[in-house]
């Protein structure tokens, strides 16, 4: 069990308490799902797994009591009452020691439990004891708090742009999701390798190169210069130039079938590898030097991690292996894999000898799982590629490279389209796909406008809340004394603006969403701004209280019984490890976003209704606030965002 997971602790604890009830079943019925007594593994095996966070009033509930009643063949009411009694007895007997559960009650078929003050204090202490610059804390936590039972070798395939096209908002999705997933996995102590499977090899690349060569594109001037006896340095096309070439080339392939053929040939040329080398086994002649040269020039403009071309040498051997396993057949000159239940085969080599996107992914999955022994491969793309990856995974499984039951986990994480407010795919004013760069620049400008406007609003106006607490006026005044200039920088607004876009993207529940600067930069709702506002409120509070956490001896500090609102906050804090686990297992950063939103919401409510400075539990309130700030900071880091001290 994970000592810091409230859920695991509770489950463990409750199972022990309920043993008198459950042993009778496990003796004569050891193959049921929910309740098992598995003797062949060492260590504790949970008998009862139904502890959940309820929607009702309690902290946690035992929700699957019906299952137990069915197992016991008894009346649910009675069983539930028996459970309550067993838990109550445990509470009574533990009165002097540290007990996890404070209260137990029955509500319908649920057995509700609430956590003890001791336990809640402990989950605060974990954060407080790790005190250091906020980031150190993250590292410490990695060791003390979050260790997964088995760290895995993970490969995350994300970003993966097609080199011949300009980056657009879709790439942001892959980047934001990929980066966050990697950070969460690393936080859970997995070893993560990040790979961008850039499209540097296929037909689009062939199109661009042919077009650029045939139209003597500026950026290839050194090739023309060389031909005319002059020499000049290659120069690098801007993303804009490149995407112009791409869209012109694409138009041409539609109208000019001869050009289209030449583009396909150019792609096939590239796949032969560098012009001077010949690869022994598959008698490659190497590419046409000009095509190859143009390709190298194109590559220069982007960070190349591990593009499709990296797998070049593995393509033919992979096909041969599938052939030896009798998995391929020839159809009209092309090499195909026919899969059960599928009308069309997966083509892995065309009749003209060119390899395809699927071929690369087949070679890649073998390389990742077999050669590099990754245990978990996560590929992030838009959801139009679902079928493609299903096919690749099936082929890998049939070939025996991918063994899902025993060794590997593979995930295709997919995302949908980002729509503009007109309901169509997000595009620029001219109707082209909106370039990422433009979008980000606009976000920064808008973040600036939004925060500057908000500075003239009162707190109540920002959050649209009414509140009575007196301390707010004081806080407002102190905030006004802040040196605004130091926050009026491009860097500051970049953090806010880009963070808002990423957060908006990561927090979405559905795959596709509508892009809206107004919503993502709002102080209301599930936005990074709402959370940042909580963070900056705490910064201001700390300044005002002149609070120095190092001046407090945490070993001797005694907490008073939490007030209802304090307790709510600490309860939220105690859920953090479980939230991280849930985010890891679902690979959905939205889970973490929801949590950060919730905890900020709790804090805003707390702050607006309870006096902090000058109250008799001021220090403990500040300690709680401090931990919340740490949590937001850690959470933001895991989402790939940065916090700021002032909005
Ligand atoms: N370059 C591809 C695209 O832009 C995504 C590559 C994803 N990764 C992979 N292994 N196929 O659509």
Tell me what pLDDT residue 271 has. 79
| Per-residue pLDDT tens over the stretch 575-597 | 888 888 889 989 999 999 999 99
The residue whose C-alpha atom lies closest to atom 8 belonging to ligand 1 is 197
- Choose one of 159, 168, 194, 199 to mutate for the ligand 1 pocket test, by most ligand atoms within 8 angstroms of C-beta: 199
* Dihedral of the alpha carbons of 88, 92, 97, 98, in degrees to the nearest 10: 30
Between the two ends of the chain, the Cα-to-Cα distance in Å is 41
CA of 317 to the centre of ligand 1 (A): 21
Tell me what pLDDT residue 135 has. 37
Tell me what pLDDT residue 641 has. 92
The residue whose C-alpha atom lies closest to atom 1 belonging to ligand 1 is 199
- Choose one of 304, 306, 311, 381 to mutate for the ligand 1 pocket test, by most ligand atoms within 8 angstroms of C-beta: 381
CA of 381 to the centre of ligand 1 (A): 6
CA of 250 to the centre of ligand 1 (A): 19
Query: Averaged over 469-486, what is the pLDDT?
Result: 49
| Per-residue pLDDT tens over the stretch 30-70 | 433 333 333 323 233 344 566 676 666 778 888 888 888 88
CA of 380 to the centre of ligand 1 (A): 8
Question: Token pair of 412, please?
Answer: 């295709």
How many beta carbons lie within 10 A of that of residue 335, not counting itself?
A: 22
CA of 351 to the centre of ligand 1 (A): 23
List all residues 6 or more positions away from 560 whose beta carbon is below 8 Å from its beta carbon.
616, 617, 620
Which atom of ligand 1 is closest in space to residue 357's alpha carbon?
11
CA of 159 to the centre of ligand 1 (A): 8
| CB 377 within 8 Å of CB 365 | yes
Q: Three-state SS string across 87-146, please? A: HHHHHHHCCCCCCCEEEEEEECCEEEEEECHHHHHHHHHHHHHCCCCHHHHHHHHHHHCC
| Per-residue pLDDT tens over the stretch 62-105 | 888 888 888 888 899 999 999 999 999 999 887 666 678 999 99
Give 598-616 as a DSSP string: HHHHHHHHHHHHS--TTST
Tell me what pLDDT residue 243 has. 74
Using the predicted structure, report yes or no on whether residue 24 has a pLDDT greater than 90: no
Query: Averaged over 512-525, what is the pLDDT?
Result: 89
Query: Averaged over 407-426, what is the pLDDT?
Result: 88
Question: Token pair of 406, please?
Answer: 């025993």
Query: Averaged over 460-466, what is the pLDDT?
Result: 61
CA of 388 to the centre of ligand 1 (A): 10
CA of 118 to the centre of ligand 1 (A): 50
Residues with CB under 6 A from ligand 1: 157, 160-162, 197, 199, 361, 364, 379, 381
CA of 545 to the centre of ligand 1 (A): 52
Cα dihedral sign for 90, 93, 95, 99? negative
Q: Comparing 47-61, 353-367, 493-507, which segment has the lowest mean pLDDT? A: 47-61
Which atom of ligand 1 is closest in space to residue 171's alpha carbon?
4
Give 342-383 as a DSSP string: -SSPEEEE-TTS-B-HHHHHHHHHHIIIIIS--SEEEEEEEG
Query: Averaged over 3-22, what is the pLDDT?
Result: 81
**What distances in angstroms separate CA 58 from CA 84, 110, 596, one per listed residue?**
14, 10, 21
The residue whose C-alpha atom lies closest to atom 9 belonging to ligand 1 is 197
**Residues 514-538, buried b or exposed e (16+ Cβ, 10 A)?**
ebebebbbbbeebbbbbbbbbbbbb
| CB 551 within 8 Å of CB 375 | no
- Choose one of 156, 160, 162, 205 to mutate for the ligand 1 pocket test, by most ligand atoms within 8 angstroms of C-beta: 160
Which atom of ligand 1 is closest in space to residue 382's alpha carbon?
12
3-class state of residue 234 by DSSP: coil
The residue whose C-alpha atom lies closest to atom 5 belonging to ligand 1 is 160
| CB 520 within 8 Å of CB 446 | no
Query: Averaged over 224-230, what is the pLDDT?
Result: 69
- Proportion of the chain above pLDDT 70, given as a percent: 77
3-class state of residue 44 by DSSP: coil
pTM for this structure?
0.83
CA of 371 to the centre of ligand 1 (A): 21
Which atom of ligand 1 is closest in space to residue 364's alpha carbon?
10
| Per-residue pLDDT tens over the stretch 119-149 | 899 888 888 876 433 334 445 444 444 455 5
CA of 452 to the centre of ligand 1 (A): 40
Using the predicted structure, report yes or no on whether residue 453 has a pLDDT greater than 80: no
User: For residue 241, is it left (φ>0), alpha (ψ between -120 and 50) or beta?
Assistant: alpha
| Per-residue pLDDT tens over the stretch 610-632 | 899 999 999 999 999 999 999 99
- Choose one of 197, 302, 391 to mutate for the ligand 1 pocket test, by most ligand atoms within 8 angstroms of C-beta: 197
State the chain's mean pLDDT as an integer: 81
Query: At residue 624, what are phi and psi to the nearest 5 degrees?
Result: -60, -45
Q: Could you tell me how far CA 642 lies from the centroid of its own chain?
A: 15
CA distance 257 to 268: 17
CA of 382 to the centre of ligand 1 (A): 9
The ipTM estimated for the assembled molecules is: 0.97
Query: At residue 15, what are phi and psi to the nearest 5 degrees?
Result: -60, -40
Tell me what pLDDT residue 36 has. 31
Tell me what pLDDT residue 460 has. 62
| CB 567 within 8 Å of CB 113 | no
Between β-strands 409-415 and 110-115, what pairing exists: parallel, antiparallel or unpaired? unpaired
């Amino acid at each position: 069990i994970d000592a810091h997971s409230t859920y695991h602790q509770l489950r463990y604890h409750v199972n022990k308490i309920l043993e008198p009830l459950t042993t009778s079943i496990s003796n004569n019925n050891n193959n049921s799902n929910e309740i098992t007594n598995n003797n062949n593994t060492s260590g504790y095996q949970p008998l009862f797994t139904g502890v959940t966070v309820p929607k009702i009033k309690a902290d946690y509930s035992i929700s699957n009591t019906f299952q137990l009643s069915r197992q016991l063949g008894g009346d649910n009411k009675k069983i539930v009452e028996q459970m309550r009694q067993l838990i109550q007895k445990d509470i009574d007997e533990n009165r002097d020691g540290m007990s996890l559960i404070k209260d137990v009650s029955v509500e319908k078929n649920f057995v509700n439990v609430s956590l003890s003050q001791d336990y809640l204090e402990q989950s605060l202490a974990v954060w407080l004891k790790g005190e250091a610059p906020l980031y150190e804390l993250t590292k410490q936590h990695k060791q003390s708090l979050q260790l997964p039972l088995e760290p895995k070798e993970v490969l995350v395939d994300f970003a993966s742009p097609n080199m011949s096209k300009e980056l657009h908002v879709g790439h942001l999705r892959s980047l934001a999701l990929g980066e966050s997933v990697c950070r969460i996995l690393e936080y859970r102590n997995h070893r993560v390798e990040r790979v961008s499977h850039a499209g540097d090899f296929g037909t689009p690349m062939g199109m661009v190169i042919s077009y650029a060569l045939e139209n003597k594109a500026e950026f290839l001037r050194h090739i023309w210069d060389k031909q005319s006896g002059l020499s000049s340095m290659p120069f690098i096309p801007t993303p804009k130039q490149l995407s112009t070439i791409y869209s012109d080339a694409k138009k041409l392939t539609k109208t000019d079938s001869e050009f289209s053929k030449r583009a396909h040939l150019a792609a096939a040329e590239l796949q032969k590898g560098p012009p001077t080398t010949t690869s022994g086994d598959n008698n490659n002649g190497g590419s046409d030097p000009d095509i190859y040269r143009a390709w190298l020039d194109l590559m220069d403009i982007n960070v190349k991690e591990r593009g499709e071309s990296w797998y070049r040498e593995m393509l033919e051997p992979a096909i041969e292996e599938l052939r030896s396993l009798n998995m391929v057949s020839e159809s009209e000159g092309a090499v195909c894999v026919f899969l059960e239940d599928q009308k069309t085969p997966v083509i892995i080599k065309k009749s003209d000898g060119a390899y395809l996107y699927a071929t690369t992914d087949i070679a890649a999955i073998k390389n990742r799982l077999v050669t590099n022994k990754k245990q978990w491969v996560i590929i992030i793309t838009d959801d139009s590629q679902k079928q493609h990856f299903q096919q690749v995974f099936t082929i890998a499984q049939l070939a025996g490279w991918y063994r899902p039951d025993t060794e590997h986990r593979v995930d295709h994480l997919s995302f949908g389209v980002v729509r503009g407010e007109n309901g169509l795919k997000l595009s620029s004013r001219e109707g082209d796909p909106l370039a990422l760069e433009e979008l980000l620049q606009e976000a920064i400008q808008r973040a600036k406008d939004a925060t500057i406007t908000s500075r003239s609003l009162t707190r109540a106006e920002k959050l649209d809340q009414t509140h009575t607490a007196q301390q707010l006026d004081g806080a407002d005044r102190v905030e006004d004394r802040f040196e605004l200039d130091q926050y009026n920088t491009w860097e500051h607004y970049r953090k806010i603006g880009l963070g808002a876009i990423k957060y908006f993207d990561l927090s979405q529940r559905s795959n596709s969403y509508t892009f809206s600067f107004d919503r993502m930069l709002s102080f209301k709702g599930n936005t990074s701004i709402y959370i940042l506002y909580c963070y900056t409120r705490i910064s201001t509070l700390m300044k005002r209280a002149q609070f120095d956490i190092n001046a407090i001896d945490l070993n001797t500090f005694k907490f008073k019984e939490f007030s209802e609102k304090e307790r709510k906050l600490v309860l939220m804090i105690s859920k953090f490890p479980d939230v991280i686990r849930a985010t890891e297992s679902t690979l959905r950063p939205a889970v973490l976003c929801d949590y950060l939103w919730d905890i900020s919401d709790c804090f805003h409510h707390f702050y607006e209704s309870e006096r902090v400075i000058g109250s008799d539990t001021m220090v403990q309130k500040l300690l709680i606030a401090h931990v919340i700030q740490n949590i937001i900071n850690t959470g933001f880091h895991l989402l790939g965002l940065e916090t700021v001290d002032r909005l």
